[in-house]
Structure 1
């Protein structure tokens, strides 16, 4: 039997490096976090070939004495744990493994000068061996340079990606850390083959909204709502702050969701699941919200030491945290998202063009010059027929007629209506409204779909006075046996929203009542779609099974679609105005249940530009 032996320190450090230093971006994360914990106000990052050749982090923090630098390069030596209460840690790094792990797989140069010291000091460690130390000239702070990463570990080196890929990963790390600390100035430069490009430059002391918008997208500031929510816990106050993008401002991937716990950027399944649940009835299934959420939670309620790289956390009361995030997001979106995140498409606007000025044909001038314009209609028709080569022109009363109704004037009271007064309908799908400062187009089906969904949700919360309508003759809907099982299991929850169903044999369901808001829906098609939704969203997800209420909200979106005004339906002016007024009073009416905008606005200034009046 092989004998148990102690591993040499060099091998121990390499094993530890495998947990902490997976790629240059992982080493960069540890170094920048150390700079933040050192109290730096300015942090500069320089990369060469995305960090494959060299990466350097310079800060103006507290610095270190020479003896502290030697200790910092030993394993499990740290200044960030003043006592043994590891659960109360308040710094970003505390395991004491980063510097020795990096030094074991690369050439590391550590230079530092403490506040008040006359000179700085340098230590150079090449793949675990100290090769140089001595005085160094630098201002107060610390500079760490990492070169030739994995040069002597070819098995790890060959799995690194291209310089471009490693640079993108490093940029993402710095962006997330910079977003969490708007009080610190960050710069990031990347060079290759004599070319250097500055990728990130932020100012010290920026507001959170400014920093987040600068890093994610500048238009996010105008297309997001601020979040500020607090809740007391047995160990203190839990806070949720940040910016949440409107549902109409979304992306096709979830890479634009930035989540932080006590200042740490994390990628946690519970948090991403909470975000998905909060936007569940406002986004299409293949779209993702854009946001930056900062959760501050008392240290005893969260374990930040469950992953060597500290990218995952574990909560003492996961359900409480999830509910807090979902309610905070929905509360913020309900108070600020009646607006739409999308204006008129620029490409569509550019296709507007003025009618070119053309000279009248000579034949037309010869016909109408000298004519008596008070002539009777037959004489005018004769002239037109003469110009068209004898082809008769229909009388005016035979020409196509538009549907006309008396439009309401914009009264003094109506000028406060954000969505204006209805003026007509285009293609029996879009409502045209006039507001005091522009022209508004409303997608009647998308808007009514959102209104119906909100009515159903209020009915489920007991806020609706009449939420269910019994059928005179119950409908029998034949379905697959598995679908019947799903609907039977969800029957109690569906009843809260006014849909009364029960099993009717092995392969059929009986519908006794439907929600008043969708009384005209096709019950057979409705039940089949509901069964499909339950099958899809009732499964176990990454963060655990969805709560019943969240599963039902997916179902409600389907019910709302069945009960809404369809495109192609002719509406009277009174119906259009009623729809506009209800939209103004309904939360989340700026987007439909699939994340598309329900209305867009063309400012009066833009209209004037179309006619050259600007």
Structure 2
């Protein structure tokens, strides 16, 4: 122990850090990537009362970011303060902090941006009477009056040029553009009364191409619905159901989608105009979905909360991505509104506030999964909405159960892979007849039966095994589909008629980011104007409709925050894995589906023949074990 102390480096004396280093450290908490810059500047523009906001990016924002607004501007004598830390006009006392009504309030945005870039600020409160600041690495290089229109333009060049360790962690331009698009889309949803324009150029020599344009509508429910149609297309808007009028008067407004909108991560929560990933609110929504939707994936949600500023604490996250509600009654009102909206979505045709893009399409879902009696057994037939077992989304995947290795040795099958990681697998051919439970390694397993059409119960020599029939079948299908896709990789079939996809602008950016990997999988996808995309070729192994739905799901997942591998080969591998997992989830036997004894035996036999039988493709457990010791302890026999 003494030797360790002797070899320790000499302790440095306490000292004050230089201001430049302090600024870079502070900037690291606020500015992570180009989209962070866009977020801070958009918030400043909205706080300044802008009615029009333009964002121009070059090379995904890695080279250049320009944000222009027509807001109130900054007085010339105050411009120098705007790039200093903790200088703000939005709060002046601790009491102000308790009831913040603006998006920004800490006075860190411009100073943090200027500390890690070459930043130019052009601003004017009155036409012709403007001011210009040029700041490089936190140091003011130019401070002069200029003539310009009312409003503010901030130009950010060479982000992280003086922090190379941060710069090397930036992703491909397509990835950075997708993140920036998601930010602009979020604030465009929050503020339908403001016009938003986003343009992008791959390099300084190329012209800017319009990525997003959303004309101002209104801040009421009708205006919000029209803004959703602008960003996501009229088809989605026509499948949205407004939340109850009574809750709208209590500050809870928004829309819940019908089953046609259950496409992954399309849940948006806004509190006083601020886009959040609020865990408490989303937990309430997902619980309501589980209670009311019988295992269906979560429908789209656009929730707008307008609450007194003093009832919500926005100063709990460095990037203001989360809030804390001081009044628990707000969550109760939210839960009630969401449940009523979901109940309406279950049994009623959507009634949009404004006709968008033609007549409202009726829901395609026609009822719960049906079963067909054939004597004492129930036939193996699936009906109802695809994906009705559990969603591909959900809580983070748990670790593989600690007893899984022992279970594998006892009953056969491979060792469990790491949770959440979709390992390369080899599917063993599906037998032509059911595999009996008495196969090698499973001699001691006896089928007990099925519990509530959901779980298969097995008796082992020293335990009771509970198998989730949906995730078990999902694992079997995943390994089959994964191998099939890998063998057919890059083989495609050209469609006679292109399939046009209606996407949000963020999903369109996500699809563009995936284009090279999708081509390796056999797809040919191209962007169209207005946020749409066209599929002209699909993998030869996939049916047309299924190939289309899988692309939609991938676009939604990536737009929702999935990080993509930067290497093309790794990207193709990721997409193959996602395609197989998504297809397996939709095709697997559903919850509450009665199975005959022969089908259950076949399912269990195929499961134990899998490479990784103890977790589904999303990392959730397939088999749970209750040992004799566990049961005796529950009955207090031990």
Normalised by the shorter chain, which TM-score bucket?
A: 0.5 to 0.7
User: Residue deviations 1:155-180, cap 9 Å, x none?
Assistant: 00000001110000000000000110
Q: 2:211 and 2:294 mapped to 1: Cα distance?
A: 33
**Aligned pair partner of 1:293 in 303, 306, 316:** 303
- Name 1:71's counterpart in structure 2: 81
- Name 1:307's counterpart in structure 2: 317
Q: CA shift at 1:533, angstroms?
A: 10
Q: CA shift at 1:526, angstroms?
A: 2.4
Q: CA shift at 1:99, angstroms?
A: 0.4
Aligned partners of 1:73 and 1:99 also within 8 Å: yes
- Name 1:23's counterpart in structure 2: 33
**Aligned pair partner of 1:205 in 191, 200, 217:** 217
Q: CA shift at 1:98, angstroms?
A: 0.6
1:525 paired with 2:451, answer yes
Greater radius of gyration (CA): 1
Q: CA shift at 1:8, angstroms?
A: 1.3
Q: Given the superposition, is the C-alpha separation of residues 445 and 178 from structure 1 closer, same or farther in structure 2, using an over 3 Å criterion?
A: closer
Q: 1:241 and 1:139 mapped to 2: Cα distance?
A: 36
**Aligned pair partner of 1:249 in 241, 247, 261:** 261
| Pairing of 1:523-602 with structure 2 (within 5 A) | 525-526=451-452, 529=455
Q: CA shift at 1:145, angstroms?
A: 0.4
- Name 1:99's counterpart in structure 2: 110
1:33 paired with 2:43, answer yes
Aligned partners of 1:278 and 1:327 also within 8 Å: no
User: Residue deviations 1:488-519, cap 9 Å, x none?
Assistant: xxxxxxxxxxxxxxxxxxxxxxxxxxxxxxxx
**Aligned pair partner of 2:60 in 50, 66, 70:** 50
Aligned partners of 1:247 and 1:279 also within 8 Å: no
Q: CA shift at 1:151, angstroms?
A: 0.7
User: Residue deviations 1:390-429, cap 9 Å, x none?
Assistant: xxxxxxxxxxxxxxxxxxxxxxxxxxxx99xxxxxx9989
- Name 2:356's counterpart in structure 1: none
Q: 2:246 and 2:238 mapped to 1: Cα distance?
A: 24
Q: 1:34 and 1:47 mapped to 2: Cα distance?
A: 18
User: Residue deviations 1:73-109, cap 9 Å, x none?
Assistant: 1111111114432010000000100101110000000
Aligned partners of 2:124 and 2:148 also within 8 Å: yes
Q: Given the superposition, is the C-alpha separation of residues 19 and 285 from structure 1 closer, same or farther in structure 2, using an over 3 Å criterion?
A: farther
Aligned partners of 2:257 and 2:345 also within 8 Å: no
Aligned partners of 1:50 and 1:166 also within 8 Å: yes
Q: CA shift at 1:335, angstroms?
A: 3.1
Aligned partners of 2:257 and 2:299 also within 8 Å: yes
Q: 1:238 and 1:286 mapped to 2: Cα distance?
A: 29
- Name 2:522's counterpart in structure 1: none
User: Residue deviations 1:298-355, cap 9 Å, x none?
Assistant: 223221111111011112255x4444323212212323542468xxxxxxxxxxxxxx
1:221 paired with 2:147, answer no
Q: 2:327 and 2:180 mapped to 1: Cα distance?
A: 33
Structure 2, unaligned runs of 5 or more: 1-10, 351-361, 364-369, 374-380, 389-447, 458-465, 472-589, 596-638
Normalised by the size of structure 2, how large is the TM-score?
0.53
1:330 paired with 2:302, answer no
Q: 2:243 and 2:233 mapped to 1: Cα distance?
A: 18
Q: Given the superposition, is the C-alpha separation of residues 292 and 36 from structure 1 closer, same or farther in structure 2, using an over 3 Å criterion?
A: same
Q: 2:296 and 2:148 mapped to 1: Cα distance?
A: 51
Q: CA shift at 1:146, angstroms?
A: 0.3
Q: Given the superposition, is the C-alpha separation of residues 535 and 8 from structure 1 closer, same or farther in structure 2, using an over 3 Å criterion?
A: farther
Q: 2:342 and 2:123 mapped to 1: Cα distance?
A: 47
Q: Given the superposition, is the C-alpha separation of residues 249 and 90 from structure 1 closer, same or farther in structure 2, using an over 3 Å criterion?
A: same
Q: 1:428 and 1:561 mapped to 2: Cα distance?
A: 10
- Name 1:541's counterpart in structure 2: none
Q: CA shift at 1:11, angstroms?
A: 0.9
- Name 2:143's counterpart in structure 1: 133
Structure 1, unaligned runs of 5 or more: 342-417, 420-425, 430-442, 451-521, 538-557, 564-614
Structure 1 stretch 178-187 or stretch 326-335: which is displaced more?
326-335
- Name 2:482's counterpart in structure 1: none
Q: 1:241 and 1:231 mapped to 2: Cα distance?
A: 7
Aligned partners of 2:76 and 2:145 also within 8 Å: no
Normalised by the size of structure 1, how large is the TM-score?
0.55
Q: CA shift at 1:286, angstroms?
A: 7.8
| Pairing of 1:441-520 with structure 2 (within 5 A) | 446=384
* 2:174 aligned counterpart, secondary structure: helix
**Aligned pair partner of 1:156 in 166, 179, 195:** 166
Aligned partners of 2:453 and 2:591 also within 8 Å: no
Q: CA shift at 1:218, angstroms?
A: 2.4
Q: 1:210 and 1:126 mapped to 2: Cα distance?
A: 42
- Name 2:438's counterpart in structure 1: none
Aligned partners of 1:14 and 1:101 also within 8 Å: yes
* 2:243 aligned counterpart, secondary structure: strand
* 1:114 aligned counterpart, secondary structure: strand
1:272 paired with 2:282, answer yes
Q: CA shift at 1:287, angstroms?
A: 3.0
Q: Given the superposition, is the C-alpha separation of residues 530 and 13 from structure 1 closer, same or farther in structure 2, using an over 3 Å criterion?
A: farther
Aligned partners of 1:230 and 1:239 also within 8 Å: no
Aligned partners of 1:248 and 1:340 also within 8 Å: no
Q: Given the superposition, is the C-alpha separation of residues 536 and 528 from structure 1 closer, same or farther in structure 2, using an over 3 Å criterion?
A: closer
1:110 paired with 2:85, answer no
- Name 1:390's counterpart in structure 2: none
Q: 1:427 and 1:273 mapped to 2: Cα distance?
A: 32
Q: Given the superposition, is the C-alpha separation of residues 240 and 231 from structure 1 closer, same or farther in structure 2, using an over 3 Å criterion?
A: closer
Q: 1:102 and 1:157 mapped to 2: Cα distance?
A: 14
Aligned partners of 2:55 and 2:68 also within 8 Å: yes
1:87 paired with 2:87, answer no
Q: 1:94 and 1:304 mapped to 2: Cα distance?
A: 10
Q: CA shift at 1:524, angstroms?
A: 5.8
Q: 2:453 and 2:173 mapped to 1: Cα distance?
A: 53
Q: 1:192 and 1:535 mapped to 2: Cα distance?
A: 48
**Aligned pair partner of 2:251 in 239, 246, 252:** 239
Q: 1:119 and 1:100 mapped to 2: Cα distance?
A: 23
* 1:26 aligned counterpart, secondary structure: helix
- Name 1:399's counterpart in structure 2: none
